[in-house]
């Protein structure tokens, strides 16, 4: 995905205000009715509709009129909100080049005020899964972003919490700096993913170190679940750093043994092939946790401390409920419930307005989506490589812009009409027409508006 941050510079206060209004609306609507965006943003003289046109032009929002007229954030729009928040917090001052494309993320360099370069990971859940659900595109068309944004936020929160906890326990991980929405800021690792390394001075030492980490993780009650040559970084001194934590599980997970063995096997296979290390073939030979005899470490013989996940991660802000939601996503293999159109927005909306500048929950109860490919599709991360994601992303983008082009003329007409109506409503004092989605304003409009005003003046 292209991330043209120049656009960010040209976006006005009003643009961000309306973008935030769309995000807030998405808390209870997968597609946020235009009138709701207008009400939340409360720009004068129907200004919201003009701004929406601008946001559409820059692909920060997507227009949808299949059920009713409304908008949702695109990943780009979500990126900009996260970046803006981080910049306001002083975490970094500018965004540089893209340094990595994961299967479900984009990694960029960012620079702080004093010139320190950091890494920014933008989670993009849904990329891989799209491949498996092409045939269900219509079904997913209007739902996916709503879910993907929510799940990407969870993935970022989880990754941040793990990175912090692991760092505190002395694991070689990037320094976790901050997290907002689907974005994690961490220290930049000066090295290469192991997959790019053709030669090592001391392959045995590096191998022992890496397998040692798998064991050490298990002793702390954790399994990486994606421990392979793509997620291990090596620097010029052959120092190892592990990355990529959203899929980690506890050693008490029902498939823990399988995940542990898979991580171990990946490392054995890679080192065998790439660096010609030879190992004993029998995986069950060892009854000790170490690998000095060259055999696979055995999960059952490791002295595992449990509870690491629950206690320390909850302390970092990643709750059991978040984990349950992610598990549901990963393990779901059948379609589930739907989002209610009748939820009341106003109470939460007011609360959200006060709380924003930090991660704004998109939904407590995301819809469950049929993944088509099943859990393997998500669990076999890295196996498809980055090129697939690009292709996929390109396809999504072209799909969206196609649809957008088709709708543009119609939309401009519609937006102008709504704008006129809003202006006349403002002048004539009567309420704008209501949407199909029931929406009650409990808070009283003036207090509600002044809260938004307060929040957004900071921009």
Instruction: Enumerate binding residues for ligand ADP (CB under 6 A).
Output: 99-100, 102-105, 107, 119, 121, 174, 186, 188-189, 193, 230-231, 243-244, 381
Tell me: does residue 244 bind Mg ion (CB under 5 A): yes
Q: Would you say 21 or 110 has its CB closer to ligand ADP?
A: 110
Count of residues making up the chain = 459
Residue, CB closest to Mg ion:
244
Smallest gap from residue 345 Cβ to ligand ADP (A): 33
Q: Would you say 56 or 189 has its CB closer to ligand ADP?
A: 189
Q: Would you say 240 or 415 has its CB closer to ligand ADP?
A: 240
Whether 263 is a known active-site residue: answer no
Smallest gap from residue 327 Cβ to ligand ADP (A): 17
Smallest gap from residue 99 Cβ to ligand ADP (A): 5
Tell me: does residue 350 bind Mg ion (CB under 5 A): no
Residue, CB closest to ligand ADP:
102
CA-based end-to-end distance of the chain: 26
122: closest CA among 82, 71, 74? 82
Torsion over CA: 160, 161, 167, 173 (sign): negative
Q: C-alpha 322: how far from its chain's center?
A: 13
The CB density around residue 247, as the number of other CB atoms within 10 Å, is: 21
CA–CA distance, 427 with 440 (Å, rounded to integer): 22
Smallest gap from residue 102 Cβ to Mg ion (A): 4
CA–CA distance, 39 with 18 (Å, rounded to integer): 10
Q: Would you say 69 or 244 has its CB closer to ligand ADP?
A: 244
Q: Single out the catalytic residue among 226, 263, 325, 350.
A: 226
Smallest gap from residue 436 Cβ to Mg ion (A): 41
Which element (helix H / strand E) includes 394?
helix 385-428
Smallest gap from residue 230 Cβ to Mg ion (A): 5
Tell me: does residue 247 bind Mg ion (CB under 5 A): no
Q: Would you say 381 or 448 has its CB closer to Mg ion?
A: 381
Q: Where are the beta strands (DSSP E) in 168-268?
A: 176-180, 183-187, 192-193, 222-223, 232-234, 240-242, 249-250
Kindly list the distances between the CA atom of residue 7 and the CA atoms of 84, 94, 112, in Å, as whole numbers in the listed order.
12, 13, 19
Smallest gap from residue 160 Cβ to Mg ion (A): 15
CA–CA distance, 264 with 297 (Å, rounded to integer): 8
Smallest gap from residue 244 Cβ to Mg ion (A): 4
83-110 b/e with 16+ CB inside 10 Å = b? bbbbbeeebbeebeeeeebbbbbbbbbb
CA–CA distance, 157 with 180 (Å, rounded to integer): 8
Triad 259, 261, 263: Cα angle to 5°:
70
Please, where are the H alpha helices in 169-306?
Answer: 203-219, 256-275
249 binds, among Mg ion, ligand ADP, none (CB under 5 to 8 A by kind): none
Q: Would you say 128 or 360 has its CB closer to ligand ADP?
A: 128
Phi/psi at 66 (5° precision) = -70, -45
188 binds, among Mg ion, ligand ADP, none (CB under 5 to 8 A by kind): ligand ADP
Interacting span for Mg ion (CB under 5 A) from 132-140, 242-250, 322-330, 351-359 = 242-250
The CB density around residue 198, as the number of other CB atoms within 10 Å, is: 6
Whether 127 contacts 389, CB under 8 Å: yes
21: closest CA among 385, 356, 437, 394? 356
Please report how the helices 13-25 and 34-41 are oriented relative to each other, as an axis angle in degrees rounded to 10. 120
Candidate list 228, 231, 295, 396; residue touching Mg ion; CB under 5 A: 231
Q: Would you say 60 or 122 has its CB closer to Mg ion?
A: 122
Q: C-alpha 454: how far from its chain's center?
A: 28
Tell me: does residue 102 bind Mg ion (CB under 5 A): yes
Q: Would you say 49 or 160 has its CB closer to ligand ADP?
A: 160
174 binds, among ligand ADP, Mg ion, none (CB under 5 to 8 A by kind): ligand ADP
Number of residues this chain uses to bind Mg ion (CB under 5 A)? 4
Interface with Mg ion (CB under 5 A): 102, 230-231, 244
**Active site (catalytic) residues:** 226
């Amino acid at each position: 995905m292209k991330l043209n941050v120049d656009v960010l510079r040209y976006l006005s206060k009003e643009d961000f205000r309306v973008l935030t209004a769309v995000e807030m609306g998405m808390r209870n609507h997968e597609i946020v009715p235009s009138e709701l965006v207008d009400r939340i943003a409360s720009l004068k003289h129907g200004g919201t509709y003009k701004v929406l046109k601008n946001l559409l032009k820059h692909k920060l929002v997507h227009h949808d009129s299949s059920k009713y007229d409304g908008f949702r954030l695109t990943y780009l729009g979500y990126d900009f909100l996260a970046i803006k928040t981080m910049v306001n917090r002083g975490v970094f001052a500018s965004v540089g080049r893209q340094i990595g494309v994961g299967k479900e993320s984009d990694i960029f360099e960012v620079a702080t005020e004093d010139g320190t370069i950091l890494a920014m990971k933008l989670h993009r859940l849904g990329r891989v899964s799209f491949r498996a659900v092409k045939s269900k595109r219509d079904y997913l068309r209007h739902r996916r972003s709503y879910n993907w944004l929510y799940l990407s936020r969870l993935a970022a929160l989880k990754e941040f919490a793990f990175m912090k906890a692991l760092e505190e326990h002395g694991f070689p991980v990037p320094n976790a700096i901050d997290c907002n929405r689907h974005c994690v800021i961490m220290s930049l690792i000066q090295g290469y993913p192991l997959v790019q390394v053709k030669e090592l001075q001391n392959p045995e030492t590096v191998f022992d170190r890496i397998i040692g980490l798998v064991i050490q993780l298990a002793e702390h009650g954790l399994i990486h679940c994606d421990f392979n040559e793509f997620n291990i970084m090596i620097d010029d001194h052959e120092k190892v750093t592990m990355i990529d934590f959203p899929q980690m599980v506890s050693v008490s997970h029902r498939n823990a043994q399988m995940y542990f063995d898979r991580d171990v096997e990946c490392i054995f296979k890679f080192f065998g092939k790439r660096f010609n290390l030879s190992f004993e073939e029998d995986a069950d030979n060892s009854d000790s946790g170490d690998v000095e005899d060259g055999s696979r470490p055995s999960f059952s013989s490791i002295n595992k401390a449990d509870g690491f996940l629950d206690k320390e991660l909850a302390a970092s802000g990643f709750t059991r409920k978040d984990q349950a939601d992610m598990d549901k996503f990963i393990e779901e293999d059948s379609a589930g419930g739907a989002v209610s159109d009748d939820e009341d927005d106003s109470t939460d909306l007011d609360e959200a307005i006060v709380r924003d500048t930090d991660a704004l929950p998109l939904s407590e109860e995301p819809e469950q989506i049929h993944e088509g490919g099943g859990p393997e599709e998500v669990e076999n991360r890295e196996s498809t490589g980055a090129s697939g994601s690009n292709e996929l992303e390109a396809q999504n983008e072209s799909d969206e812009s196609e649809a957008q082009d088709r709708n543009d003329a119609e939309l401009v007409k519609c937006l102008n009409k709504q704008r006129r109506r809003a202006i006349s409503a403002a002048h004539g004092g009567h309420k704008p027409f209501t949407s199909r989605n029931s929406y009650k304003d409990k808070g009283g409009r003036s207090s509600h508006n002044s809260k938004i005003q307060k929040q957004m003046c900071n921009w």
